[in-house]
Amino acid sequence: MSRPARVTITESSPRDGLQSLGVFIPTDAKIGLIDDLSMAGLVSFDAVSFVSPTAVPQMADAAEVIAGVARIGVFLRGLVPNLRGLEAAVAAGVDGIGVLTAASDTFSERNINADVEESMDRIRAILDEVPAGLSVRAYISTITHCPYEGPTDPARVAVLAERLAEWGCDEIFLGETLGKGTVGDVERVLDHVLARVPVSRLGVHFHDTYGQALANVVLSLDAGIDKLDSSAGGLGGCPYAPGAAGNVATEDVMWLLDGLGIDHDGDIQQVASVAARFCDEHNLPYRSRAGRATLAASEVEA
Return the active site residues. Answer: 238
Residue 77 near residue 98 (C-beta atoms within 8 A): yes
Q: How far is the CB of 263 from ligand HMG (least distance, A)?
A: 25
Q: How far is the CB of 155 from ligand HMG (least distance, A)?
A: 18
Smallest Cα–Cα separation from 183: which of 149, 219, 150?
219
Euclidean distance between CA atoms 98 and 46, whole angstroms = 9
Using the contact rule CB under 6 A, the part of the chain among 30-38, 47-55, 218-226, 282-290 near ligand HMG is 47-55
The residue type of 72 is: I
Vertex 75: Cα angle to 135 and 42 (nearest 5): 135
C-alpha distances in Å from residue 245, one per residue of 18, 160, 207, 211, 239: 12, 25, 6, 9, 11
Q: Does 63 bind ligand HMG (CB under 6 A)?
A: no
- Please give the radius of gyration of the chain, using alpha carbons only, rounded to the nearest integer: 18
Of 9, 25, 42, 51, which lies in the binding site for ligand HMG, with binding defined by CB under 6 A?
51
Using the contact rule CB under 6 A, the part of the chain among 208-216, 238-246, 252-260, 273-281 near ligand HMG is 238-246
Following CA atoms 112, 113, 116, 118 in sequence, which dihedral angle do they give, to the nearest 10 degrees? -110
Q: Does 189 bind ligand HMG (CB under 6 A)?
A: no
Provide the binding-site residues for Mg ion, judged by CB under 5 A.
Answer: 16
Q: How far is the CB of 14 from ligand HMG (least distance, A)?
A: 12
Q: How far is the CB of 179 from ligand HMG (least distance, A)?
A: 9
Helices 116-129 and 154-166, packing angle to 10 deg: 20
Binding mask 192-221 for ligand HMG (x = CB under 6 A): -------------x-x--------------
Q: Does 175 bind ligand HMG (CB under 6 A)?
A: yes
Of 82, 152, 216, 220, which lies in the binding site for ligand HMG, with binding defined by CB under 6 A?
82
49: partner contacted, choices Mg ion, ligand HMG, none (Cβ within 5-8 A by kind): ligand HMG
Q: Does 50 bind ligand HMG (CB under 6 A)?
A: yes
Euclidean distance between CA atoms 95 and 20, whole angstroms = 24
Using the contact rule CB under 6 A, the part of the chain among 21-29, 108-116, 249-257, 269-277 near ligand HMG is 108-116
Which residues would be at the binding site for ligand HMG (CB under 6 A)?
16, 19, 49-52, 54-56, 79, 81-82, 84-85, 88, 100, 111-113, 139, 141, 175, 177, 205, 207, 238-240
